[in-house]
């Protein structure tokens, strides 16, 4: 997850963490855990948060989830 995207849009919209949380009907602790990567932003909150930020939910989802790092599943060969 790319937690920085949430902060980017929050700041771009001139919202404090408290204001964003109030609009979302959540506590500052909820946002803090998401912002700090302790919990992911659940899909059910993408659309409401995108509406607050004035962007399409697809855009927020794409940017938020684009930070996922893929596991390295390549096979390594051992040289003899």
Distance from C-alpha of 3 to C-alpha of 15, rounded to nearest angstrom: 16
Distance from C-alpha of 37 to C-alpha of 34, rounded to nearest angstrom: 5
Distance from C-alpha of 33 to C-alpha of 3, rounded to nearest angstrom: 10
Distance from C-alpha of 39 to C-alpha of 59, rounded to nearest angstrom: 20
* 4-65 is classed CATH 3.40.470.10: no
Taking the domains of the chain in order of start, what are their residue ranges?
4-65
User: Tens digits of per-residue pLDDT, 10-60?
Assistant: 999 999 999 999 999 999 999 999 999 999 999 999 999 999 999 999 999
Closest CA to 52 of 4, 3, 14: 14
Per-residue tokens: 1: 């997850």
Task: Examine the pLDDT at 80 and tell me if it is beyond 70.
Answer: no
Assessment of whether the complete model's pTM goes beyond 0.85? no
pLDDT at 63: 94
């Amino acid at each position: 997850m790319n937690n920085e995207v949430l902060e980017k849009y929050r700041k771009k919209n001139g919202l404090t963490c408290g204001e964003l949380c109030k609009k979302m009907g959540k506590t500052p602790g909820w946002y803090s855990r998401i912002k700090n990567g302790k919990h992911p932003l659940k899909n059910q909150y993408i659309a409401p948060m995108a509406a607050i930020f004035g962007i399409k939910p697809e855009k927020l989802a794409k940017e938020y989830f684009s930070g996922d790092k893929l596991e390295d599943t390549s096979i390594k060969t051992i040289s003899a």
